[in-house]
A = this chain, B = another copy of it.
Amino acid sequence: MLLGSALDPSEWHHLESAGLTERAVVSMLPGMATIPIARFDDLLSTRGRIGRGGPTAPTRPVENALYEFGGGFPDPASFPYDGIVEATARMIKAEGAEALTYGDHQGYRGLRELVCHKYALFERLEVTPDNLIISNGSGHALSLAFSAFLDVGDSMLSEAPTFSGTLNTLRRHGPQVLDVPIDAEGMVTDVAREQLEKLRREGRRCKLIYTIVNFQNPAGPTLSLRRRQELIGLAQEHDTLILEDDAYGELRFEGQPLPSLYALDPTRVIRAGTVSKILGAGFRLGWLCADPAMISVLQSFLFGGGVNPFASRVATYYLRDHLAPHVALLVDVYRAKRDAMLEGLWQVLGGTDVEISKPEGGFFIWIKLPTGTDPARLAEVAVQRRLQYTPGPAFFVNGGGHEFIRLAFSYEPPARCYDGARLIAQAILDSRR
């Protein structure tokens, strides 16, 4: 369904050598609309036409589910409601005029300073507000990087599986995405090297490498220090960029944080972050951390009078006073949910050859279904029993993943994580061929 699946690199290269334009290439892709489905369709841009009229994949089989195990929704019981109201009142009094008008194009400086503080606090990483650009959530931050560096048909590397939301954003930028698998140490850098060498042989350039470094979404592993160093070395050798996505890094339940890729090479890595998981996604506040020369290019794709001057200040006023204790609270909250879900899953599936991730942090559990499970049958059973999960294929841009499912333990209370996990585990057992 996604562009990356349509042609392999040599085909792209061949088409370009033949002088075909991007528009012509896109129109040849399977799943792309070849007849207008609305009368303005022939006016659409190349990016607007990608996937238009093509099939769209459901990311979960059940709409009216008993448990919310789908998206990475923060725990609503953890939101500091009174604190937000109090912060709003205090902020409006202190700088209401600035909060209600156009803001700094790079984002509210107070929030950029807070992000500097956060990096210093949790990782001992020193950056300045000039290294940061605020965006409407980290999904938007990623899109700024894609817009700045990707033309339709450009090549890039990504983990497979990777976050389905990023794949949706990528689809609109139309790159050819080369897969790199993951194992217990994260992205398999040996395969990354092979993919980079393959591109080089074909005379193609890798425009960037996208990776989720901590508690990888969906699969769970954290990129090891050895792999981090290898990945930086590969990026240097092939003169490309790394887009480091880290939405969950502070929510570490055990173990020690590793140096970010950005810390290892701040001139070649663009790092994305967010307050969605440590305060609330409704503020839509994310950022990119990068070399200031790069910030100026990224900023040129921010069309809107400065991101969120009002919401930026409310979030900043709250977090300035509560960051460390609020994150400590969240770590306890989410650890308990993870453990409850794992307990439920293992109680029912313990006798099988199932593989279940145990992430050191974050929101997700990744399950390799026991041998003999029929994914299509599981989908039917799940609909009957109103059980929700995200099917593995949603996380693979180039196909595959049918033997996996992802569960989010972030939203429901621990007791419901336990109950729901047992029901899903039973559904898995009942879906054997």
Q: How far is the CA of A241 from the CA of B149 in the complex (A)?
A: 29
Contact with B along A45-76 (1 / 0, CB 8 A): 11110011000000000000000000101101
Q: Is A388 close to B, CB under 8 A? A: no
- 13 contacting pairs across A/B (C-beta < 8 A): A21-B21, A22-B22, A40-B294, A43-B205, A45-B149, A48-B300, A81-B100, A88-B89, A100-B281, A101-B280, A103-B282, A284-B310, A311-B311
Let me know if B101 and A76 touch, CB within 8 A.
yes
Residues of B within 8 A of A309 (CB): 281-282, 284
Let me know if A148 and B81 touch, CB within 8 A.
no
Q: How far is the CA of A85 from the CA of B92 in the complex (A)?
A: 7
Q: Which residue of B lies closest to A208 (CB)?
A: B43
Let me know if B48 and A149 touch, CB within 8 A.
yes
Let me know if B103 and A149 touch, CB within 8 A.
no
Residues of B within 8 A of A347 (CB): none
Chain B: minimal CB distance from A203 (Å): 15
Q: Chain A residues in contact with chain B, CB under 8 A?
A: 19, 21-23, 37-40, 43-48, 51-52, 71, 73-74, 76, 79, 81, 84-85, 88-89, 92-93, 96-103, 135-137, 139-140, 142-143, 147-151, 154, 165, 168-169, 172, 205, 207-208, 239-241, 267-268, 276, 279-284, 291, 293-294, 297, 300-301, 303-311, 314
Let me know if B305 and A139 touch, CB within 8 A.
yes
Chain B: minimal CB distance from A328 (Å): 19
Number of copies: 2
Contact of A300 among B172, B281, B310 (CB under 8 A): B172
Q: How far is the CA of A43 from the CA of B155 in the complex (A)?
A: 11
Let me know if A304 and B282 touch, CB within 8 A.
no
Contact of A147 among B48, B89, B136 (CB under 8 A): B48
Let me know if B76 and A45 touch, CB within 8 A.
no
Q: How far is the CA of A52 from the CA of B300 in the complex (A)?
A: 10
Let me know if B71 and A281 touch, CB within 8 A.
no
The 9 closest A-B pairs by CB, nearest first: A100-B280, A282-B309, A143-B303, A76-B97, A100-B282, A140-B304, A48-B148, A38-B293, A282-B310
Residues of B within 8 A of A21 (CB): 21-22
Let me know if A136 and B282 touch, CB within 8 A.
no
Contact of A308 among B39, B240, B301, B311 (CB under 8 A): B311
Q: How far is the CA of A306 from the CA of B256 in the complex (A)?
A: 33
Contact of A88 among B88, B98, B207 (CB under 8 A): B88
With A40-B293, A282-B310 given, name 8 new contacts (CB 8 A).
A38-B291, A45-B149, A48-B297, A48-B301, A71-B102, A84-B88, A101-B281, A169-B303
Decide yes or no: A81 and B96 within 8 Å by CB, A19-B19, A45-B150 being known contacts: yes
Q: How far is the CA of A52 from the CA of B297 in the complex (A)?
A: 8
Let me know if A45 and B147 touch, CB within 8 A.
yes
Q: How far is the CA of A279 from the CA of B101 in the complex (A)?
A: 9
Residues of B within 8 A of A51 (CB): 300
Let me know if B308 and A284 touch, CB within 8 A.
yes
Q: Which residue of B lies closest to A89 (CB)?
A: B85
Residues of B within 8 A of A142 (CB): 303
Let me know if A101 and B45 touch, CB within 8 A.
no
Chain B: minimal CB distance from A284 (Å): 5
Q: How far is the CA of A280 from the CA of B37 in the complex (A)?
A: 39
Q: How far is the CA of A92 from the CA of B135 in the complex (A)?
A: 23
Q: How far is the CA of A47 from the CA of B103 in the complex (A)?
A: 24
Decide yes or no: A96 and B71 within 8 Å by CB, A38-B294, A307-B284 being known contacts: no
Let me know if A102 and B84 touch, CB within 8 A.
no
